[in-house]
C-alpha cells in the first residue's frame, strides 16, 4: 500500500478483498487477483468501477469473464478485458 493513502483507502481495499470472495474459487482468483495486482495503481474512476462491478451476480461475472456476454458498462468491460488478458482467456 502507498504511504500517501489514508485509512479510508485501506478500509475500502479490505472491504473489496472480502467482496472478491465469490461463489467459486475461479471467480475468487480472477477478481481477487485483479484487485491485488491493479487496485493501488488504478485511477479513482477505475477503483470505483471495480467496487460497483463487485455488486454484479456471480453468473454474470462468469459469463463476462469467459467472453459469453459483455457487461453493460464500458468501464466494467475494461476491467474484464484486463482480467481476460492477464489469464489469457
Q: Which domains does the chain have, with CATH numbers?
A: 24-86 (1.10.150.250)
For the stretch 27-47, what's the b/e string if a residue is b when 16 or more beta carbons lie within 10 angstroms of its beta carbon?
beebbbebbeebbeebeeebb
Burial of residue 61 (CB within 10 Å: 0-12, 13-18, 19+) is buried
Against a cut of 0.85, is the pTM above it? Answer: yes
**Per-residue pLDDT in tens (0 to 9) along the chain, 89 residues:** 444 557 888 899 999 999 999 989 999 999 999 999 999 999 999 999 999 999 999 999 999 999 999 999 999 999 999 999 999 99
Amino acid at each position: 500500500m502507498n504511504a500517501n493513502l489514508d485509512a479510508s483507502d485501506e478500509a475500502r481495499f479490505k472491504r473489496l478483498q472480502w467482496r472478491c470472495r465469490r461463489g467459486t474459487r475461479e471467480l475468487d482468483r480472477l477478481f481477487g487477483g485483479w484487485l491485488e495486482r491493479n487496485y493501488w495503481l488504478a485511477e479513482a474512476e477505475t477503483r470505483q468501477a471495480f467496487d460497483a462491478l463487485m455488486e454484479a451476480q456471480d453468473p454474470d461475472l462468469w459469463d463476462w469473464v469467459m467472453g459469453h456476454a459483455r457487461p453493460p458498462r464500458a468501464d466494467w468491460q475494461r476491467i474484464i478485458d484486463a482480467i481476460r488478458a492477464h489469464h489469457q482467456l
